[in-house]
Amino acid sequence: MPEGGLDQHYVIGSLSGEVWTSPGRCLLVKATIPGGPGPEPWKPGNQGLRPVEGLPRESIRTGAIGSGLDLTVPAYPNMAAGDVIGLAWGAETVEGAPLTAADVDRLVVVRIHASTVTGQGPGLVPIACQVREVVENLSDGWSAMEIVAVED
């Protein structure tokens, strides 16, 4: 089946010879997934989604982050306009805005608001990303996990 818009409709015929045709509807068909299939499926995570960047090397002090943190998600295979990047900050997932054509094949910044950082409390916080595309396909797993220490 080709990818892209596929016009669909149905036709119903009766025994008397009458024929009814439904209005057409365009269905979007995509056979790829964001990040592509993992080349080493026995390894955890999706190897096509690289780890989130921009995390401080030292611990994060909640009083020193202002309104939040800007983290970066590197470009990934099958990146497309309409993709939505979900960034897991501990138990909470923050979604970025849908990507535009200008975002494709570039680093994408996802803002983690201070309330999300402080809401997890102090301790070690796992961080990873996953991508949902325009036809609701999810990347084949999350990116490799990064761990950051958060202090009050």
| Domain ranges within the chain, ordered by starting residue | 1-31, 60-151
In the predicted model, what is the mean pLDDT of residues 45-73? Answer: 90
Give the rounded percent of residues in the chain with a pLDDT score beyond 70: 99
Rounded mean pLDDT, 81-104: 96
**Residue 2: per-residue pLDDT:** 63
Q: Helix H segments across 89-148?
A: 114-119
Q: What is the dihedral of CA 34, 36, 40, 41, to 10 degrees?
A: 60
Average pLDDT on 19-45 reads 84
Assess whether pLDDT exceeds 90 at residue 7. Answer: no
**CATH hierarchy code of domain 60-151:** 2.60.40.10
Which secondary structure element, helix H or strand E, spans residue 19, and what is its range? strand 19-21
Q: Which residues of 13-47 are buried (b: 16+ CB within 10 A; e: fewer)?
A: eeeeeeeeeeeeeeeeebeebbbbebeeeeeebbb
24 has a pLDDT exceeding 80: yes
The DSSP H or E segment spanning 151 is strand 146-151
Q: Tell me how far apart the alpha carbons of residues 89 and 13 are, in angstroms, rounded to a whole number.
A: 55
